[in-house]
A and B are shown apart, each in its own frame.
Chain A
Amino acid sequence: DQQVKQNSPSLSVQEGRISILNCDYTNSMFDYFLWYKKYPAEGPTFLISISSIKDKNEDGRFTVFLNKSAKHLSLHIVPSQPGDSAVYFCAASAPYGGSQGNLIFGKGTKLSVKP
């Protein structure tokens, strides 16, 4: 039973256009959401996060949107660049109770940005 779902295994976008990566979750206790970027043979690199008290967080070309009522978040990359080509993981945590803040990850979406 997956608590964090990334339903698109892959996404292909033209350089300069917008990339939109989506993520759905089922656990209403999640209150912190993160996006990680992963290149082959490297560990996940933290990209951007959002707390559940916000609905948008922006950092340069990256914006994360959170829709709590729909239990949905998305990552927008504008403009997309070839160096953005990587696997993107959505992750969530619930800081209280037994989870102690450990992250629950989706399966990832492979983004390819074509020149």
Chain B
Amino acid sequence: GAGVSQSPRYKVAKRGQDVALRCDPISGHVSLFWYQQALGQGPEFLTYFQNEAQLDKSGLPSDRFFAERPEGSVSTLKIQRTQQEDSAVYLCASSPSQGLGNQPQHFGDGTRLSIL
């Protein structure tokens, strides 16, 4: 498909387990963003990549959260030692621009993470 693809769509994990969430951006898009959306809230910024470089990780809530985009395409968001407050929908977005604004970001359908 031509859109942003995220997998898995749903993930259930026990507290303390590690999880990995995958994002396939739109082909050729330079910028990639991760957001976290809690129930009843708008998405909140986690981290930003320009190609393979992680230029902003100011939104990551703790050092348990780690993201990478080693070849400038697919990205993985990893959460170590998950806690119940990590339960949320994790959204990935991509845009063709290099973070200079005026380009809409296109979102995937997200991964709904539930920590038991």
Contacts and interface: CB of A to CB of B under 8 A. Distances in A.
Interface of A: 4, 31-32, 34, 36, 41-46, 49, 51, 89, 91, 93-95, 98-108
A106 B104 contact: no
Contacts of B58: 98
Interface stretch (B14-22, B36-44, B71-79): B36-44
Interface of B: 4, 6, 31, 33, 35, 40-45, 48, 50, 55-56, 58-59, 91, 93, 95, 97, 99-110
B102 A102 contact: no
B contact face: mostly helix, strand, loop, or mixed: loop
13 contacts: A43-B4, A46-B104, A46-B106, A51-B102, A95-B100, A100-B50, A100-B55, A100-B56, A103-B35, A103-B45, A103-B105, A106-B42, A107-B41
